[in-house]
Amino acid sequence: MKLATKLLMLPLLAVSVVSLSVSAQQAPKPEQLIKWRQSAFQVVAWNNSRIKTNLDGQYNKEDVVKAANTIAAIANGGLGSLFAAGTETGKGWHETNVKPALFAAGSKEGDYSAAFAKEATELAHLAATADQARVKEQFGKLGRTCKACHDDYKAKD
């Protein structure tokens, strides 16, 4: 290779190295992703608990709307990125309890995730517009999407 050609390539190489360096810096570590997904599901659990308390006792529509909106935002918020390759095992707040099958070929995780998002969006809509009975029915539907995925892909605590 001629020297002139080598010199011409130097800036390209420099750009590549910088890009790689930025990507490496920005990509969160697997343990961080696991901690974030464990946190996201705890926030879902918190808001499930709030809705259940409202349905079982004094119904406060404003509280149910807030809780349903939070679940819907998380369900539609890109949870899949927290299950990136490299997070099959590892410790966030605790050792992950995701089963290997979630990461395997033929995993139905995408379908479950889409069902979760769909029913959570509908729950947020009904919380704001419908009565307690309709919210209760939809809350049951949402819970079944959680259970379906847990049955297949979440190891027992």
Q: Is 82 in the site for a copy of itself (CB under 8 A)?
A: yes
Shortest Å, Cβ 26 to a copy of itself: 5
**Owner of token pair 């679940």:** 71
Residue 152 tokens, joined = 């297949």
Give the residue with the Cβ less far from a copy of itself, 39 or 107: 39
Q: How far is CA 5 from CA 14, 15, 64, in A?
A: 15, 16, 66
Candidates 51-59, 105-113, 130-138, 143-151 — which segment interacts with a copy of itself by CB under 8 A? 51-59
Side chain identity, residue 1: M
d(CA 107, CA 33): 20
Give the residue with the Cβ less far from a copy of itself, 48 or 107: 48
Residue 81 tokens, joined = 């990125």
Side chain identity, residue 123: L
Residue 32 tokens, joined = 């961080």
Q: How many residues does the chain have?
A: 157
Give the residue with the Cβ less far from a copy of itself, 40 or 152: 40
Query: Given the rule CB under 8 A, which residues bind a copy of itself?
Result: 22-23, 26, 28, 35-36, 38-40, 42-43, 45-47, 49-50, 53, 56-57, 63, 66-67, 69-70, 72-74, 76-78, 82, 93
